[in-house]
Chain A
Amino acid sequence: MTDNLEFTPWADPSQKPLIRFENVTKKFGDFTAIDNLTLDIYEKEFFALLGPSGCGKTTLMRLLGGFEQVTSGTITIAGQDMANIPPNKRAVNMMFQSYALFPHLTVAANIAFGLKRDDLSAADIDARVDEMLTLVQLKQYAKRKPHQLSGGQRQRVALARSLAKAPKLLLLDEPLGALDKKLRTETQFELMDIQEKTGTTFVIVTHDQEEAMTVASRVAVMNHGVMIQVDTPDRIYENPSSSYVADFIGDVNLINGTARVVDGVVTMSWAEGQPKLSAKSALDFAADAACILAIRPEKVNISSTKPGSAHNVVRGKILDIAYLGNISTYHVQIADGTIIKAQSANNRRLARRPFTWEDKVYLSWTDTAGVVLAE
């Protein structure tokens, strides 16, 4: 995966996007599923659409597949306007959430189904089916019917079938939703592997943020038909653009306060008589504007004595301790009543734990650990 470190076509203005959404709106009656959306997706990207159910992510995918038509705006794929082009005329294939394997056909016939619609010789079709079966490691199952396969095997047949026509773009609708957690994690890596081998552009819809973070080169967080943030997984996690994104991806502590900015450093007042918090920020705030400090639990340090060097130190009382084996999460109530979660690795045995319930502790973090947000 070392190539991926260099793979940033979205940052290169000379690159042409494979898919371009321009002011796309999709309405179902009075309901607006997609609201004036503009987005570029580049070739060979593994692009994840993430959001709660009903946020429009599946509609966006069905627009790409040709199963829905836009109400207004344009979608272009490889420079071609997709308006009025039916699904069977698009160089796009989709892997359905239910897999949609044809129950009356064998695994091999399922994979060959799309190829038979092209002008290919029987020998070419057989060769391609063979290639696909090898790719998904199902060679010995070629003659089975879908109902004779396990859930994981069916998922792989569906993937092979949708990749068989070598589409420019593969759409995956919750591809791993039906698998159990362990199999899902394995399959995520398989998907990434296959995406890299075939060089196909993947657009995946998921509601599982861990899955999106694992597989994607870029993640788009959606809500109510609007793109809230489109960024690489690490930027989404470390630099969320709003408290919605911060809260949606992983665990986060949000502290409300008012901001004063001096030389790119925000000094934040958050409670009467408490020392102010400081954080570096690229955003500019008007004097005493409302702001939110978002900080991840694993970046909050907890100690029983006052740490000397940290920029931000806050006192609090432990309300709860969640012991998860490898780590513990402490719920600490601070002066304004907010409950801050602090995580620490359990690198010593439990009996040696320095704090317990009701203990007064110090929470501390550096001035680069959190992000100051306007909303």
Chain B
Amino acid sequence: MKRLSWFNATSLAFGFAFLYIPMLILVIYSFNSSKLVTVWAGFSTKWYVELAGNEAFLEAAWVTIKVAVISSTLATVLGTMAAYAMVRGGRFFGRTLFSGMVYAPLVMPEVITGLSLLLLFIGIGMDRGVMTIVLAHTILTMCYVSVVVSSRLVSFDRSLEEAALDLGCTPFDAFRSVTLPIIAPAVIAGWLLAFTLSLDDLVIASFVSGPSSTTLPIKIFSSVRLGVSPEINALSTIMIGIVTIGVIVASLVTKRSVAMRAKQERDAE
């Protein structure tokens, strides 16, 4: 391992400090025993205990998880299908337009996505609730899944599918028994990415949520406007933990499958 020069080491330290000191402070203060957020009065886990008894927060957490699981699953199915159509479809009519439009939500300002969805739901007379958040999150996260899966499909040896057809599979059977197991790591990574994105989305959710369906980020944001409580710190710490685990698992899954593939290619030579 090469040693860093003092310049690189300093910039790295500054970079990390800039990124993580705010979060670190939040995590530390979540273990503060004082009710005042800015005054340290000793270590305590009482805010976590209190949080566990707070019905409103637990309700919001349940809604958030429900939305994240359903929307990321829907997004994974749709995103994988879109990726498959784009990579395997060849030069079908409207392909460039289609792929451009699949990736558009990546760069579209969330405020605009949220607003347009709100107008749509009002227009078709759909009551805002869990369902509308699920739909909105599916739209938001599908393109991320599609990016992850299509980058795997591009390097997928097409003759594997042809071999499956040759051995008697229908095209769907070939996809299910050969393509899907092989691209599974990318699909799982896409799901985890969609899950974490849905978990921490505030902007779109606040447009399309109804009174009965407050997600955790909305709940936190509205509570903070009445003043930051240590309870919020505790809740945020838990969310940071979940998202961190999600991202680490997703990257480990991807990394492991890349390493596996590299090994197989090496062995194949």
Contacts and interface: CB of A to CB of B under 8 A. Distances in A.
Interface string A154-186: 100000011001000000000000000000000
Nearest to B265: A147
Given A98-B157, A102-B178, A147-B268, A114 B168 contact: yes
A147 B263 contact: yes
B165 A98 contact: no
Interface in B52-88: none
Given A102-B178, A147-B264, A86 B162 contact: no
Given A117-B173, A147-B263, A147-B264, A165 B168 contact: yes
B154 to A, nearest CB: 16
Contacts of B166: 65-66, 87-88, 92-94, 114, 162
B66 to A, nearest CB: 32
B182 A96 contact: no
A147 B182 CA distance: 14
Contacts of A154: 268
B135 interface: no
Contacts of A94: 162-163, 166
Which of B164, B167, B168 is most buried by chain A, counting CB atoms within 10 A of its CB?
Answer: B167
Nearest to B182: A104
Nearest to B168: A117
A118 B168 contact: yes
Contact of B163 (A96, A117, A118, A148): A96
Smallest CB-CB A-B distances: 5 pairs = A114-B167, A117-B168, A100-B163, A100-B159, A147-B264
Interface of B: 157, 159-160, 162-170, 173, 177-178, 181-182, 263-264, 267-268
Given A147-B268, A148-B267, A161-B163, 18 more contacts: A65-B162, A87-B166, A88-B167, A88-B169, A92-B166, A94-B162, A96-B159, A96-B162, A96-B163, A102-B164, A102-B178, A103-B182, A104-B181, A104-B182, A113-B164, A114-B168, A117-B167, A147-B263
Interface of A: 65-67, 86-88, 92-94, 96-98, 100, 102-104, 113-114, 117-118, 146-148, 151, 154, 161-162, 165
